[in-house]
Amino acid sequence: MTLPNFLIIGAAKAGTTSLYKYLEQHPDVYMSSFKEPGFFAFEGQTLNFQGPGVKYRINKWTVTDLDSYQEMFAGAENQKAIGEATPLYLYYTQACDRIKHYIPDAKLIAMLRDPVERAFSNYVWAVQPGAEPITNFTEALAAEPKRINDNWGPRWHYKAQGFYYQQLKPYFETFDPQQIRVYLHQDFVANPKQVLQDIFNFLEIDDSFELDLSKKHNVSQIPRNKTWHEFINKPNPLKTLVKPFIPLKFRTNIKKQAKTKNLYKPKLNPEVRQQLIAEYQTDILQLQELINRDLSQWLKV
């Protein structure tokens, strides 16, 4: 039976995709065949999350049975570290007991981001492909409780996913704290090489291996022009007509440049930040004590 010996458990929109992609490069690491299988969060369930674009990834691709989950690691050979990354393991804390049951000695990695920035990034990430119909962040936050009650998927749980103390506490109570490493997104952005070397040491693999850190992954941006964004990214008769006359490489470059120029990163309203800080404050202060890190920067408007 092949199961992972380490997991990236969260948080969503905190750099977990980049971490997954970087770790894939290391010869001593075997990562699951795709990111976010979700087994420990949703074992035995038939998922029917609602929301715009209901056929999105979590309903279709989540692995809910043990045999299928094991198959994801069947290709592992001599790698010392076998892992996967499902940020929802932090949010859906039932995953904690299941991890303890199946892989009690697993090493657990959490990457945490300022919860207000995380919530806003999550919102922007949903707006970009058209999955979020509300174009005002404050209104989307107001709609969140009803959406959760109506079984909308975690993609739209913007604020709820940011209460890290509540989510991490069960892990520290269930596992030996030596099995858990908590990193901050701000440190990962500022010095990814240093964070990765620490992770390599934690996983007991070669910390001298040089990774290619040049590519950015899963960046949250919003289209300036929605119609143009849809034209670039969706099938269109005009594109089909001219496709045979333009080489693939040239088409790819045109699409990339057009998409990049049409996207921008919006700024969060300071008043909204202040409101969210007030809601997160107690959790942040408790988290400071749990992970022994100064998080005062997260409390600044």
Looking at the structure, do residues 52 and 71 belong to the same domain, yes or no?
Answer: yes
In a domain, 1, yes or no: no
* pLDDT tier for residue 199 given thresholds of 50, 70 and 90: very high
Looking at the structure, do residues 35 and 119 belong to the same domain, yes or no?
Answer: yes
Which helix (H) or strand (E) element contains residue 112? strand 107-112
Measured CA to CA, the distance from residue 246 to residue 135 in angstroms comes to: 36
In a domain, 98, yes or no: yes
Residues 92-108 have pLDDT tens digits of 999 999 999 999 999 99
Looking at the structure, do residues 39 and 95 belong to the same domain, yes or no?
Answer: yes
In a domain, 15, yes or no: yes
Predicted TM-score of the model (pTM): 0.85
Domain count, the chain: 2
In a domain, 239, yes or no: yes
What is the chain's mean pLDDT, rounded? 89
Q: Average pLDDT, stretch 230-252?
A: 59
Boundaries of domain holding 252: 222-264
Whether residue 183 contacts residue 143, with contact meaning beta carbons closer than 8 Å, is answered with no
DSSP symbol at 298: G
Whether residue 181 contacts residue 108, with contact meaning beta carbons closer than 8 Å, is answered with yes
In a domain, 202, yes or no: yes
Looking at the structure, do residues 173 and 259 belong to the same domain, yes or no?
Answer: no
